[in-house]
Amino acid sequence: MPQKTKHTPMMEQYFGIKASYPDAFLFYRLGDFYELFYEDAIEVSQLLELTLTSRNKNADDPIPMCGVPHHAASGYIDTLVQQGYKVAICEQVEDPKTAKGMVKREVVQLVTPGTVMEGRGLSAKENNYLVALAFSDRTFQLAYVDLTTGELKVASLANEEDVLNEVAVLKAREVLLTSAVPETTTELLEKRLGLIFSVQEESEESTEFTFLTQDLSETLTPVTLKLLAYLSRTQKRSLDHLQKAVEYQVDHFLKLDYYSKFNLELTQSIRTGKKQGTLLWLLDETKTAMGGRLLKQWIDRPLIHQSQIEMRQNQVASLLDAFFERGDLQETLKKVYDLERLAGRVAFGNVNGRDLLQLKTSLQQVPFIRQILSGLDEGQWRDLLVHISPLEELVSLIERGIHEDAPLAITEGNIIKTGFNQQLDQYREAMHSGKKWLAELEAKERQATGIKNLKIGFNRVFGYYIEITKSNLGALEEGRYERKQTLANSERFISPELKEIETLILEAEEKSVDLEYQLFLAIREEVKQSIEKLQTLAQALSAVDVLQSFATISEKYQYIRPQFNQQQTLRITEGRHPVVEKVLGHQEYIPNSIEMDAETLILLITGPNMSGKSTYMRQLALTVIMAQMGCFIPAESAEMPIFDQIFTRIGASDDLIAGQSTFMVEMMEANHALQHATPNSLILFDELGRGTATYDGMALAQGIIEYIHQEVKAKTLFSTHYHELTVLDEELSRLKNIHVGAVEQEGEVVFLHKMMAGPADKSYGIHVAKIAGLPKKLLERADYILMNLENGHQHLSTPTPPVEQLSLFSESNEIETQVIDELKALNVLEMTPLDAINALHQLQKKIK
């Protein structure tokens, strides 16, 4: 970049501002445009497909430049922020007409992925979290905020794995770091989640921030203050809607690590990355945006306290038993807008008249919601009803003040109702009377001049005028009017009387618009005083919305209420995978029971591929999660313990991002479960050990099973293809064998998708290959090899050797001896059918 001294005062000003925001694109206001210069211009022109021009084109070193109109800038800014960039908005902060010298400019807001308040970057049913991270005393401190809703929470985390889990759960788009955070943590977050990072070292002392952090422990206050300082520095406006920081413990909820949530597809499909096909997709019958966000939070954080779970169950049951009331409740909730984000917009100062009308409409539904719930209440709704307040005074204020057809703009008038303010009414009367006077003046002048098409008009440049066509100018008395403008076919004039009326009307219009703006700001300020009440109301209505969604789903899919016990008994009769059932239909889905008494720790599951082992395991995990959310579950009956954690290893996938193989990922996830599981945890391992050689995999699988049985003592489902492991039930008293049933009919295999006691007697791998469409000749050969192996034969000769083929054993020559030796050395138990065929082919080539 050229030396600053070579540039104009305006560019000097630009350099000074840009130096404070080196990691952001600077949108620099020049008149009606935001301009970008140098590297910003080059990069943004490519990202937004804008024309790249230059300033001082004829100079030796022209300045690259591009720009966007200020009235359309929000769309461009949205696009950049969605792509992970930061945008600093630099405005003219004084009137160019009154400025002495250079117009003063300064950045009025820094928009980042974690601080978006509106636009396409926000999803109605998803939070937009900004996370701050610190490290001290060998623990991490994490604070997060949703600027759109004011939610502010803080936690202490033990290790990097917990940090990864929390940031992944929050789906944070931006992480605020302090210098104390280890590089390994930053690298882990970047590698796994692809986040944008910002840095904030300084805190900011203020009465407001002290109030927000007053309930926090000393260790968690610093990271929260740095988060608040970053918001203050970037947003440069009121943050009155931020709620008092709440400290939470991750172990106060059912814990699922990052991998388990990914494997179970709770909120995001592995295949598409979308919501469809997930547990969230199934459960979301919410009618409000804030209810949709709360549902996702409940899925991410199921409960572990029985009393809290049963309270939700009671509320779901009361709605389930009240069909008509539930229908009325749903219809009423449809009319409730996003109170959380409306409250945030009020505090942020970017609320408009239509937003306040949405607020009024939402609050008008509250008495009906109260009435419905009060009619159902037998103690279940008491705590929520306390927070469902109608806020009548706010409804009255907006009803009296804001016009039903209020425009989006708040500075152009027509936003305040007549009758709200006496002065405004007087201005409006003056405008109305002035227009009446204009009509009377026009009629009077036509009569006086005899010119029937004389008319009074208005334009913004010349104001009001009397227009007479040129053909009628001869009838006009000389000196009656003062000439103002000449057109091709007419002349325009002004008169003292018209000037007087014009002054009255324009003054009234100007003062009216200004007064309306001031009145709107006063209404907004009054609404702002009720932000805390609005947020409390929003939280209560969100919970009601999620609970009615649970009741709706439970009725629709015939779910039942599970019972909880302290005896570690898990008994689910005819359970179903909720998402698969929704896809297949209730009639098509084959249910399965699961029974583990207090003395049973491990179910060892065997059976063919594609038979439903993985589905059975996922079914149990989703059932537990739904139950501990307080939702009813897909089964005929169920009793279960309350689990503290769920660990899964379901499905094989290489972690290519981290450069790890399937087997390494398997071992890491298994180790995580073995290190952190307790006797109250649930472990689901699907075909663990398959990623390495047969004997290695089998040995590891047995070692893991024995370790869980003897040391961890968690309820575990372990599926395997190693049939040799089924003998473990003779040695491990708390392990039971179950298998997926299959029957053969006329040489074809039919999978029953039904769990049965005992081990499977066959793998049916070749039948699965047949279903997959492998060539018939290959399958026949593999079947023959399998038959030989099962009969204990160690050689793999063809069943009917052709006549011309040399017998391997007819002559004892050198080549035959070598082939026989190689054949003896083959370890057929560790070979797949395809490996066996390839080995046989090589030996056959040698013998020929």
* Contact status, residue 397 vs residue 524, Cβ threshold 8 Å: no
* CA-to-CA dists, residue 338 to 288, 333, 361, 716, angstroms: 7, 11, 11, 42
First to last CA, the chain: 76
Q: Has 607 been labeled as part of a binding site? A: yes
* Contact status, residue 260 vs residue 647, Cβ threshold 8 Å: yes
Angstrom distance (rounded) from CA 307 to CA 313: 10
Q: Has 562 been labeled as part of a binding site? A: no
Residue whose pair of structure tokens reads 């970053």 in the numeric block: 230
Q: Has 719 been labeled as part of a binding site? A: no
Instruction: Kindly provide the residue ranges of all beta strands, DSSP E only, lying in 76-185, ordered along the sequence.
Output: 87-92, 105-111, 129-136, 139-146, 151-157, 174-177
- Which class for 629: exposed (0-12), middle (13-18), buried (19 or more C-beta within 10 A)? buried
Q: Has 611 been labeled as part of a binding site? A: yes
Q: Has 608 been labeled as part of a binding site? A: yes
Q: What is the DSSP letter of 726?
A: G
Angstrom distance (rounded) from CA 112 to CA 84: 8
- Which class for 290: exposed (0-12), middle (13-18), buried (19 or more C-beta within 10 A)? buried
Angstrom distance (rounded) from CA 333 to CA 336: 5
Structure token digits, residue 385: 């009803």
Q: Has 58 been labeled as part of a binding site? A: no
User: Which residues, other chains included, contact 720 with Cβ-Cβ below 8 Å and sequence gap of 6+?
Assistant: 604, 605, 606, 687, 688, 689, 701
Task: Say which amino acid occupies 484.
Answer: K
Q: State whether residue 249 is helix, strand or coil.
A: coil
Pair type for strands 482-486 and 592-596: unpaired
* Contact status, residue 127 vs residue 40, Cβ threshold 8 Å: no
Angstrom distance (rounded) from CA 754 to CA 739: 8
Q: State whether residue 792 is helix, strand or coil.
A: coil
Q: Has 16 been labeled as part of a binding site? A: no
* Contact status, residue 184 vs residue 140, Cβ threshold 8 Å: no
* Contact status, residue 269 vs residue 254, Cβ threshold 8 Å: no
Angstrom distance (rounded) from CA 601 to CA 714: 6
Structure token digits, residue 393: 């005074």
Angstrom distance (rounded) from CA 612 to CA 754: 8
Angstrom distance (rounded) from CA 492 to CA 646: 84
Q: Which helix (H) or strand (E) holds 754?
A: strand 748-757
Q: According to DSSP H, which parts of 645-764 are helical?
A: 662-676, 694-707
Task: Say which amino acid occupies 497.
Answer: E
Q: Smallest Cα–Cα separation from 669: which of 694, 698, 648?
A: 648
* Contact status, residue 694 vs residue 830, Cβ threshold 8 Å: yes
Q: Has 765 been labeled as part of a binding site? A: no
Angstrom distance (rounded) from CA 191 to CA 52: 34
User: Which residues, other chains included, contact 91 with Cβ-Cβ below 8 Å and sequence gap of 6+?
Assistant: 29, 105, 106, 107, 108
* Contact status, residue 197 vs residue 221, Cβ threshold 8 Å: no
* CA-to-CA dists, residue 679 to 567, 668, 711, angstroms: 12, 20, 9
User: Which residues, other chains included, contact 434 with Cβ-Cβ below 8 Å and sequence gap of 6+?
Assistant: 501, 504, 505, 508
Structure token digits, residue 272: 């598409």
Angstrom distance (rounded) from CA 144 to CA 429: 52
Angstrom distance (rounded) from CA 633 to CA 625: 9
Q: Which helix (H) or strand (E) holds 580?
A: helix 578-584
CA 638 from centroid of its chain's CA atoms: 32
As annotated, the binding site for ATP includes 607-614
Binding-site annotation, residues? 607-614
